[in-house]
Structure 1
Amino acid sequence: MKIVRIEAIPFAIPYRKPLRFASGEVSVADHVLVRVHTDDGVVGVAEAPPRPYTYGETQESIVAVVERLFAPELVGLTLLERETVHARMARTVGNPAAKAAVDMATWDALGRTLDLPVTALLGGCTDRMRVCHMVGFAPDAEMVAEAERVRDTHGIRVFKVKVGRRPVELDVGACRALREALGPDVELYVDGNRGWTPSEAARALDAMADLDLTLAEELCPADDVLGRRWLTARTTVPTVADESVPTPADVTRELLAGAATMISIKTARTGFTTSQAILRQCEGLGVEVVMGNQIDGQVGTACSVAFGAAHRATSRRAGELSNFLDMSDDLLTEPLEITGGELAVRPGPGIGIEIDPDKLARYRRDR
């Protein structure tokens, strides 16, 4: 079970339409496929989505740090030496998506070696999750049409609405249009991607008080320290920390500061090992969690549902697992399918996915 090679393969797949939000826009999935090879011939896989406007990583930086810094330190270790793997990667600061992908590919390789699903290794709570779909910036009619299409086609009844525009009225109007079109039985919550000031966020939440929003995620920048605390104290809508909590220490800081009441866990940011540490941390403090999305492709989404379904706390709420639907293609031999508003964990060892070599050859950017 020794690691003998680690690859970082850049690839690019266009989206059918861009996803627009307060901190950026994504029109191409310029991600990195990470593969961990063992001396038994097993290959574990995971996906690293660079988000330079959030964590500073680019496709080029992920490839470089995995192949030039991490691989030389990790080759020769076994798949069971995960603490050593993390300690050696921790010598390099930052680079959360790169570290997460190496961690998840290692778990995938371990599951394949043991002929067990990663979900079972992590906890085995259930085999599926309810799905939440993210709706990005667009004219109200287009946002409504997208939500109705996703609801009618895939049975999804939970939507996260991207907000954070100025003037605030654009977002209030969009949320109101979605509530009126979708009715009271559909869950709506908002994600500001740090786009509002605390006062703007307070005004917007007051204006949407009748819309029955269930969550409000990252409405203000993380460095609005007192403003975030003030906003959380004045609203009855649970406030979710996301980009502000990339590490367990950040989770502690935000919760103890009163700047958030819930935590978003993203396997694309913290892998399986650190995500589990954050989950246990939240459970110990009595803090709810939600499974977030870093605009993952199907590889990353398979990782997210494998983790989310493994634990009771992460499987309670709908996970953000559907934005791969907007991609024009993907790398899997057997695409993921959302039916009845749910996404099932893929059967089989590891994460349960296989990479189509022809698709990888078509979309990879290093050849």
Structure 2
Amino acid sequence: MEITQIEAIPFTIPYRKPLRFASGEVHAADHVLVRVRTSDGAVGVAEAPPRPFTYGETQAGIVEVIRQIFAPQIIGLTLLQREVVHARLAGTVGNPAAKSALDMAIWDALGRSLGRSVSELLGGYTDQMRVSHMLGFAEPAEVVAEAEQMRELYGIEVFKVKIGRRPMSIDTASVRALRQHFGESVELYVDGNRGWTASESLRAMKEMADLGLVFAEELCPADDVLGRRWLVSKLDIPFVADESVPTPADITRHMLSGTATAVSVKTARTGFTRSQRVHHLAEGLGVEMVMGNQIDGQLGTACTVSFGSAYQLTSRRAGELSNFLDMSDDLLMEPLQIRDGVLPVPSGPGIGVEIDPEKLNRYRIDC
């Protein structure tokens, strides 16, 4: 099970419509397919979605750091030397999506070598997760129409609403319109992507106090330590740390300083190995967790549901597992299927999905 080759293949797939939120907007999935080959013939894959406005990574940067720095350090190790891999990757600052995709591709190859699913290897708590759908910036009627379509087509009844614009009333109006349309039949939570100040955030949350929200995520910047601590102390629902907690150490700081009370785990940011650390830390601290989405394609979503389903804590809440529906196409041989608001863990060894070589050739941009 020795690692013999590592590939980083950039590809681009357009979105059906731009995805807009407080920290930026995305028009196409400019992602990177990471592929790990081994001496026993196993091939593991994962997806790296760069988010330059959040973590500073670009598609070209991910490709080059994997090819020039990470691959030479990892080739020759075995699939079981994950701690050695982790230590060597940690020697390079940043690059969370590149590191995470490489880590998950190694886990995928390991599962394929052993004939077991990654979800089983991680913990195997359940074989499916409820799905939450992210609703981007739009007029209230458009937001409601998209949510209604998601419920009719896929049975989704949990929605994460992007907020953080000024005036804040345009966003609180969308959340209120959703509650008025669906009543108590859906779960709603909000994500500000650090778009407001602490005081603006509190005013907005007071406007929405009667809407039964289950979470509030990243409403204001994390570096406003005093303002954020003050905001969190005023809220009566969990405050989710997402892009502000790229490492377990960040989680510890936020929880102990009172600037967050829950954690969003993104396998695109922490892979499987570091996500395990995040999970165990959150479990020990007694904080809630939600499986987040880095606007992943279907491969990245398969990774998310594989990890989220492995543990009781991460499978308790609906995971953000549907944003691949906004893509005009994808790379998988067999598309993921959401039914009755649930996404099953793909069957088969490893992550359980296969890349369609024709689609990869169509969308890759390095040829």
TM-score by length of 1: 1.00
**Counterpart residue number, 1:113:** 113
How far does the alpha carbon of each residue in 1:243-292 deviate from its partner, in whole angstroms, 9 at most, with x for none? Answer: 00000000001101100000000000000000010100011111111000
**Counterpart residue number, 2:287:** 287
Q: In structure 1, what is the Cα distance between the partners aligned to 2:267 and 2:137?
A: 24
Give the Å deviation of 1:211: 0.4
Q: In structure 2, what is the Cα distance between the partners aligned to 1:19 and 1:211?
A: 25
Alignment of 1:240-279 (within 5 A): 240-279=240-279
Alignment of 1:135-150 (within 5 A): 135-150=135-150
Q: In structure 1, what is the Cα distance between the partners aligned to 2:144 and 2:174?
A: 8
How far does the alpha carbon of each residue in 1:315-343 deviate from its partner, in whole angstroms, 9 at most, with x for none? Answer: 00000000000100000000000000000
Q: In structure 2, what is the Cα distance between the partners aligned to 1:328 and 1:55?
A: 25
Q: In structure 1, what is the Cα distance between the partners aligned to 2:156 and 2:120?
A: 26
Secondary structure of the equivalent of 2:204?
Answer: helix
RMSD, aligned CA:
0.5
Give the Å deviation of 1:141: 1.0
Q: In structure 2, what is the Cα distance between the partners aligned to 1:254 and 1:151?
A: 35
Give the Å deviation of 1:204: 0.2
**Counterpart residue number, 2:166:** 166
**Counterpart residue number, 2:4:** 4
How far does the alpha carbon of each residue in 1:23-44 deviate from its partner, in whole angstroms, 9 at most, with x for none? Answer: 0001100000000010111110
Q: In structure 1, what is the Cα distance between the partners aligned to 2:350 and 2:100?
A: 16
**Counterpart residue number, 2:51:** 51
Aligned: 1:336 with 2:336: yes
Aligned: 1:26 with 2:9: no
**Counterpart residue number, 2:239:** 239
Give the Å deviation of 1:309: 0.3
Alignment of 1:126-141 (within 5 A): 126-141=126-141
Count residues with an aligned counterpart: 367
Secondary structure of the equivalent of 1:233?
Answer: helix
**What amino acid is aligned across from residue 10 of structure 1 in structure 2?**
P
Secondary structure of the equivalent of 1:338?
Answer: coil
Give the Å deviation of 1:182: 1.6
Q: In structure 2, what is the Cα distance between the partners aligned to 1:208 and 1:76?
A: 55
Give the Å deviation of 1:91: 0.7
Q: In structure 1, what is the Cα distance between the partners aligned to 2:278 and 2:326?
A: 29
Q: Which runs of 5+ in 1 are unaligned?
A: none
**What amino acid is aligned across from residue 162 of structure 2 in structure 1?**
K
Q: In structure 1, what is the Cα distance between the partners aligned to 2:173 and 2:219?
A: 17
Alignment of 1:214-225 (within 5 A): 214-225=214-225
Give the Å deviation of 1:114: 0.2
Q: In structure 2, what is the Cα distance between the partners aligned to 1:26 and 1:197?
A: 24
Q: In structure 1, what is the Cα distance between the partners aligned to 2:81 and 2:60?
A: 27
**What amino acid is aligned across from residue 301 of structure 2 in structure 1?**
T
**What amino acid is aligned across from residue 226 of structure 2 in structure 1?**
L
Give the Å deviation of 1:7: 0.3
Aligned: 1:71 with 2:71: yes
**Counterpart residue number, 1:125:** 125
Q: In structure 1, what is the Cα distance between the partners aligned to 2:366 and 2:222?
A: 36
Q: In structure 1, what is the Cα distance between the partners aligned to 2:195 and 2:182?
A: 25
**What amino acid is aligned across from residue 174 of structure 1 in structure 2?**
S
Q: In structure 2, what is the Cα distance between the partners aligned to 1:310 and 1:251?
A: 21
How far does the alpha carbon of each residue in 1:92-147 deviate from its partner, in whole angstroms, 9 at most, with x for none? Answer: 00000000000000000000000000000000000000000000001111111000
Give the Å deviation of 1:222: 1.1
Secondary structure of the equivalent of 1:310?
Answer: coil
**Counterpart residue number, 2:104:** 104
**What amino acid is aligned across from residue 295 of structure 1 in structure 2?**
I
Q: Which runs of 5+ in 2 are unaligned?
A: none
**What amino acid is aligned across from residue 230 of structure 1 in structure 2?**
W
Give the Å deviation of 1:237: 1.6
**What amino acid is aligned across from residue 172 of structure 2 in structure 1?**
V
Secondary structure of the equivalent of 2:57?
Answer: coil
Secondary structure of the equivalent of 2:73?
Answer: helix
Alignment of 1:197-236 (within 5 A): 197-236=197-236
**What amino acid is aligned across from residue 349 of structure 1 in structure 2?**
P
How far does the alpha carbon of each residue in 1:28-84 deviate from its partner, in whole angstroms, 9 at most, with x for none? Answer: 000000000101111100000000000000000000001100000000000000000
Q: In structure 1, what is the Cα distance between the partners aligned to 2:122 and 2:279?
A: 12
**What amino acid is aligned across from residue 336 of structure 2 in structure 1?**
L
**What amino acid is aligned across from residue 114 of structure 2 in structure 1?**
L
**What amino acid is aligned across from residue 126 of structure 1 in structure 2?**
T
Secondary structure of the equivalent of 1:153?
Answer: helix
Q: Report % sequence identity.
A: 70
Give the Å deviation of 1:185: 1.6
**Counterpart residue number, 1:189:** 189
Q: In structure 2, what is the Cα distance between the partners aligned to 1:182 and 1:304?
A: 28
Give the Å deviation of 1:184: 1.1
**Counterpart residue number, 1:179:** 179
Q: In structure 2, what is the Cα distance between the partners aligned to 1:184 and 1:284?
A: 32
Alignment of 1:304-315 (within 5 A): 304-315=304-315
Secondary structure of the equivalent of 1:184?
Answer: helix
Aligned: 1:40 with 2:40: yes
Give the Å deviation of 1:225: 0.5
